Amino acid sequence: MEKTISWVLLAAALILAFGCSKGECKVGDKCSSDQDCGAGLYCFSCLKKVTAGAICVRSTTTNQFQLLNNSLPFNKYAFLTTHNAFAIDGYPQHTPIPRVTETNQEDSITTQLNNGVRALMLDVYDFQGDVWMCHSFSGKCYDFTAFGPAIDFLKEIEGFMSANPSEIVTIILEDYVNADKGLTKVFTDAGLMNYWFPVSGMPKNGGDWPLVSDMVKNDQRLLVFTSISSKESSEGIAYQWNYMVENQCKVFSVHGLSEL
Ligand SMILES: *[C@@H]1O[C@H](CO)[C@@H](O)[C@H](O)[C@H]1NC(C)=O
């Protein structure tokens, strides 16, 4: 009898210490391995070096078109966007010296898209006579801030779009490319002009977008926005702030971030 009680107490103590285990942990619960977390979740430690402990996070997003249908205007749907989608941990070095710049992602572009990301924020620069993706500063790419030629990332997007003919992908460019038609050339070379949604079809003055079903039917499934306003008339690349609004959000401490 005494033994039973002490086992019960021990079990209770373990549950108190850990809260959940063996596939029962929910989003945000502390975990020690993927097996602790429930379906569709995995055990992840963000900011490993700063905060102790890992929590269960979602591995994939919900497909909004399965929740409803795809016959509403494009602007009625919400989707996941990755910031600096190209700044990937462990991305192979493409310059003679190692990178010394921040990374923001752990997944390749293909994995991000397969996991449900539908908009990618990408920083494009003139570099080595071509267009590159770099996490840099002052509008200039350096060997130590360069990730790789833009074509490599764009080809991954093309691969996803050709394999998934009903998916719409949005690209938001932080654009430092001054080369004449530099972006048009790299998007053409990547095979992405085939899916290009023309500026002429984009709504002015905050009106509704075309229906998702029509965008899919017409195979106009790639939306590209640039931060350089003049490129809308010179290259037919939509100027981001003619079509988007944003709200401002700042997190002032790592502690604040872990609480979110
Ligand atoms: C799609 O969903 C909307 C909103 O629920 C509905 O009004 C519309 O009839 C649906 N369209 C189709 C083709 O199912």
* Cα separation, 21 vs 40, whole angstroms: 15
The secondary structure element, H or E, covering residue 30 is strand 30-31
Q: Evaluate: CB of 68 within 6 angstroms of ligand 1.
A: yes
Q: Evaluate: CB of 71 within 6 angstroms of ligand 1.
A: yes
Kindly give the distance from the C-alpha atom of residue 166 to the centroid of ligand 1, in angstroms, as a whole number.
Answer: 17
Q: What are phi and psi of 35, to 5 degrees?
A: -65, -25
* Tokens linked to 250: 């700042």
* Cα separation, 99 vs 142, whole angstroms: 9
Contacts of 116 (CB under 8 A, 6+ apart): 60, 61, 62, 63, 79, 80
Q: Evaluate: CB of 233 within 6 angstroms of ligand 1.
A: no
Number of residues that this document lists for the chain: 260
Kindly give the distance from the C-alpha atom of residue 56 to the centroid of ligand 1, in angstroms, as a whole number.
Answer: 34
Q: For 210-236, what is each residue's pLDDT tens digit?
A: 999 999 999 999 999 999 999 999 999
Measured from the Cα of 69, ligand 1's closest atom is 1
Neighbour tally for 218: CB within 10 Å: 12
Q: Evaluate: CB of 218 within 6 angstroms of ligand 1.
A: no
pLDDT at 87: 97
pLDDT at 201: 97
Strands 130-134 vs 146-149: parallel, antiparallel or unpaired:
antiparallel
pLDDT at 48: 55
* Cα separation, 239 vs 227, whole angstroms: 6
**Stretches in the chain below the pLDDT threshold 50:** 1-2, 4-17, 49-51, 258-260
Kindly give the distance from the C-alpha atom of residue 70 to the centroid of ligand 1, in angstroms, as a whole number.
Answer: 8
pLDDT at 58: 85
User: Mind listing the domains of the chain with CATH numbers?
Assistant: 1-59 (no CATH), 61-254 (3.20.20.190)
Kindly give the distance from the C-alpha atom of residue 71 to the centroid of ligand 1, in angstroms, as a whole number.
Answer: 6
Question: What pTM was computed for the model?
Answer: 0.83
pLDDT at 12: 44
Q: Evaluate: CB of 76 within 6 angstroms of ligand 1.
A: no
